[in-house]
């Protein structure tokens, strides 16, 4: 029997610039013990749909314009604030995306866990502290927190991201809800942690027989755990169906587009010039940061990059893979001399860059550029596109006042933006367009070497595919050499010739992409490769079952 039945839900945002139909006529139902995945790109209305059920939207600007949401026969949309509080306390729980910000840093996790039990709105259900603690410790154990009795009294900052998300899950389950809403619970996590959390959610759902609504932008993530899938776009449902039907027999154009955008296999570039001449040589590079709180000699420094050597031949796309904290971004910045190196050397075209002063480095800056992860932070919000793109050209004296306009138009063409947008500011662009501007800035000086630091991980999957193709196109046309830093192995496989795997500041394994995929040597590499979520429900299910 359906535990939640949503029918004709409409949520509009009344903004200064008119009405935005965030959710427009959405209907679905969830049975108990079933997992429903809502998949869509950013702005598709998937989160708004779920938040409106729990009255978590800011009103105004949001307004529920119509529809019903029957939870066990009672309408969630018209209930009073008190009734809603009961629902939140007893029946419905939410797990949010970012475990770093969804826990209060000033309270121990234990205190936060037992909060709903000792402050329950229903007086008869209030439990004593000791009983609540007993329950909480048991649950912490169940979600895989080791030594739950001690950990109960720890503060959130003493946990890693994955552990915090486990705590969040325990927090959601402590009231024994009948419906669990997971809003991108694994998006902020590393791939191996993501796999563990997905398994945990699946396991808990089965043992506790709760209904789960799983919101995600990533079809690969939901493939293994969803029973039913809703594909949303621009506030409307594009497709509803069983997981297998959506993945294998979809006839919907938008679903197909989403599935096609998932990078698969390797892309071949026929017209690329590669040579064996090394362009970048890194030998025994160490980048340490001072750690003031370190007590003994060993932890006086944070060894972000510890004795890394690698060579990038001209024309190659080298993938640098690692989980958060592995030192991959620091390595990239050290190569470009943006982070102070402690020891070792970086050579570019045979010239040692380490130890050069900033004015000595200046002529080399033109030849090596960087593309950053977050297109919302990498552009100065107070500069127009024209100014952003003209800065590198003028600064390196590559353009004069006469030629600059035509050079910038050429750049805009290169990155696929129209020239009418030159006078706009960054906030007027979408994430994908901003990343195009950032790429335009990086290639403006006609560099030979580009470090791309997670350039697509903040983007939607369809946009990601476009940006990847743009990067490949530019590499081919301008004979670029590239270091591509990413945590996403499918993306790396798609565009990189060779891969270096990093963990805790050291290189664990390196090799040609396809060789590495086919025959990983190190345990860590095997774990990483095994954790990649595939957009293939059958193999995903069998993997979760094995685990």
Partner 1 sequence: MNSIETDKGSSLWKDAWIKLSKNRLALVGLGLLVILIVTSLLTPLIAPYGYEAQNLDMGATAPSLQHWLGTDIFGRDMLTRIMYGGRVSLMVGFIATAVALVIGILWGATAGFFGGRLDAIMMRIVDVLYALPFMIFIILLMVVFGRNILLLFFAIGAVEWLTMARIVRSQVMALRNQEFVEAASSLGLSQWTIIRRHIIPNTLGPVIVYTTLTIPSVMLLEAFLSFLGLGIQPPQSSWGLLINYGVETMEEYPWLLIFPGLALSLTLFALNFLGDGLRDALDPRTSKD
Closest CB to partner 1 among residues 216, 378? 378
Of 516, 436, 421, whose CA–CA distance to 473 is shortest? Answer: 436
Neighbours of 357 (CB within 10 A): 7
- Residues lying near partner 1 in the complex (CB under 8 A): 333, 336, 338, 358, 361-362, 365-366, 368-370, 372-374, 377-384, 386-387, 390-392, 394-397, 401, 404, 423, 425, 427, 438, 441, 445
Q: How far is the CB of 362 from partner 1 (least distance, A)?
A: 5
Closest CB to partner 1 among residues 56, 361? 361
Q: How far is the CB of 503 from partner 1 (least distance, A)?
A: 24
Of 319, 310, 316, 304, whose CA–CA distance to 347 is shortest? Answer: 310
Closest CB to partner 1 among residues 79, 404? 404
Looking only at the bridges linking them, the beta strands covering 35-40 and 228-233 are parallel
Task: Give the helix ranges, DSSP H, for 91-209.
Answer: 109-118, 129-142, 148-151, 161-173, 191-208
Of 522, 529, 432, whose CA–CA distance to 487 is shortest? Answer: 529
Buried b (16+ CB within 10 A) or exposed e, 177-197: bbbbbbbbbbebbbbebbbbb
Q: How far is the CB of 310 from partner 1 (least distance, A)?
A: 20
Q: What are the start-end ranges of the E strands in 314-425? A: 317-321, 343-348, 351-352, 368-371
Nearest-angstrom CA–CA distance, 203 and 507 = 34
Q: How far is the CB of 2 from partner 1 (least distance, A)?
A: 44
Pair of tokens at residue 108: 């121990």
Closest CB to partner 1 among residues 123, 290? 290
Q: How far is the CB of 287 from partner 1 (least distance, A)?
A: 15
Closest CB to partner 1 among residues 286, 396? 396
Closest CB to partner 1 among residues 380, 406? 380
Task: Give the helix ranges, DSSP H, for 479-522.
Answer: 489-495, 513-518
Closest CB to partner 1 among residues 113, 408? 408
Q: How far is the CB of 135 from partner 1 (least distance, A)?
A: 41
Q: How far is the CB of 451 from partner 1 (least distance, A)?
A: 9
Closest CB to partner 1 among residues 76, 335? 335
Closest CB to partner 1 among residues 252, 445? 445
Cα distance between the two ends of the chain: 30
Q: How far is the CB of 394 from partner 1 (least distance, A)?
A: 5
Closest CB to partner 1 among residues 453, 497? 453
Instruction: Please report how many Cα atoms fall inside a 13 Å half-sphere around the Cα of residue 347, on the Cβ side.
Output: 15
Nearest-angstrom CA–CA distance, 183 and 289 = 35
Q: How far is the CB of 46 from partner 1 (least distance, A)?
A: 26
DSSP state of 534: P
Nearest-angstrom CA–CA distance, 508 and 529 = 14
Of 55, 214, 253, whose CA–CA distance to 533 is shortest? Answer: 214
Nearest-angstrom CA–CA distance, 514 and 265 = 9
Of 121, 192, 204, 127, whose CA–CA distance to 168 is shortest? Answer: 204
Q: How far is the CB of 363 from partner 1 (least distance, A)?
A: 8
Q: How far is the CB of 459 from partner 1 (least distance, A)?
A: 15
Q: How far is the CB of 492 from partner 1 (least distance, A)?
A: 21
Q: How far is the CB of 353 from partner 1 (least distance, A)?
A: 12
61 cis-preceded (ω within 30 degrees of 0):
yes
Task: Give the helix ranges, DSSP H, for 496-547.
Answer: 513-518, 523-531, 537-546
Closest CB to partner 1 among residues 71, 372? 372
Neighbours of 34 (CB within 10 A): 18
Give kind and range of the element (H or E) at residue 436. Answer: helix 431-443
Contacts of 434 (CB under 8 A, 6+ apart): 375, 376, 378, 379, 426
Closest CB to partner 1 among residues 126, 377? 377
Closest CB to partner 1 among residues 155, 376? 376
């Amino acid at each position: 029997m359906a535990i939640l039945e949503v029918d004709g839900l409409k949520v509009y945002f009344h903004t200064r610039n008119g009405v935005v139909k965030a959710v427009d006529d959405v209907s679905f139902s969830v049975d108990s013990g079933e997992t429903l995945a809502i998949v869509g790109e950013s702005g598709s209305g998937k989160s708004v749909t779920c938040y409106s059920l729990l009255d978590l939207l800011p009103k105004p600007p949001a307004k529920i314009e119509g529809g019903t949401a029957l939870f066990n026969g009672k309408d969630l949309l018209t209930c009073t604030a008190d009734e809603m509080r009961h629902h939140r306390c007893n029946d419905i729980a939410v797990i949010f995306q970012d475990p770093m910000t969804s826990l209060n840093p000033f309270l121990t996790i234990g205190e936060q866990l037992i909060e709903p039990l000792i402050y329950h709105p229903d007086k008869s259900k209030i439990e004593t502290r000791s009983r609540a603690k007993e329950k909480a410790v048991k649950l912490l154990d169940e979600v895989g927190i080791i030594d739950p009795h001690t950990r109960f009294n720890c503060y959130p900052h003493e946990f890693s991201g994955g552990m915090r998300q486990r705590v969040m899950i325990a927090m959601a389950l402590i009231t024994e809800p009948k419906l669990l809403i997971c809003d991108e619970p694994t998006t902020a996590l590393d791939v191996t942690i993501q796999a563990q959390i997905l398994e945990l959610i699946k396991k808990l759902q089965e043992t506790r027989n709760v209904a789960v609504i799983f919101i995600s932008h990533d079809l690969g993530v939901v493939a293994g755990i969803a029973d039913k899938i809703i594909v949303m776009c621009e506030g409307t449902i594009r497709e509803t169906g069983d997981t297998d039907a959506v993945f294998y027999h979809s006839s919907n154009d938008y679903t197909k587009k989403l599935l096609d955008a998932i990078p698969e296999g390797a892309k071949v570039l026929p017209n690329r010039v590669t040579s064996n001449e090394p362009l970048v040589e890194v030998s025994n590079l160490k980048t340490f940061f001072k750690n003031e709180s370190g007590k003994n000699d060993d932890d006086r420094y944070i060894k972000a990059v510890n004795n890394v050597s690698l060579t990038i031949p001209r024309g190659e796309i080298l993938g640098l893979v690692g989980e958060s904290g592995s030192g991959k971004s620091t390595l990239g910045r050290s190569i470009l001399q943006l982070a102070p190196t402690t020891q070792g050397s970086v050579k570019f075209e045979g010239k040692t860059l380490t130890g050069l002063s900033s004015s000595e480095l200046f002529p080399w800056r033109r030849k090596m550029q960087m593309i950053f992860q977050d297109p919302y932070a990498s552009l100065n919000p107070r500069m127009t596109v024209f100014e952003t793109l003209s800065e590198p050209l003028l600064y390196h004296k590559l353009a004069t006042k006469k030629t600059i306009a035509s050079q910038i138009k050429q750049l805009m063409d290169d990155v696929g933006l129209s020239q009418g947008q030159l006078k706009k500011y960054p906030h007027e662009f979408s994430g994908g367009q901003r990343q195009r501007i950032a790429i335009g800035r990086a290639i403006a000086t006609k560099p030979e070497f580009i470090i791309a630091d997670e350039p697509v991980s903040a983007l939607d999957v369809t946009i990601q595919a476009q940006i990847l193709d743009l990067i490949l196109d530019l590499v081919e046309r301008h004979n670029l050499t590239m270091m591509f830093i990413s945590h996403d192995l499918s993306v790396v496989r798609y565009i990189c010739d060779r891969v270096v795997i990093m963990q805790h500041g050291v290189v664990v394994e390196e090799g040609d992409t396809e060789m590495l995929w086919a025959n990983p040597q190190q345990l860590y590499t095997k774990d990483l490769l095994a954790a990649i979520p595939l957009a293939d429900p059958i193999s995903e299910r069998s993997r979760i079952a094995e685990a």
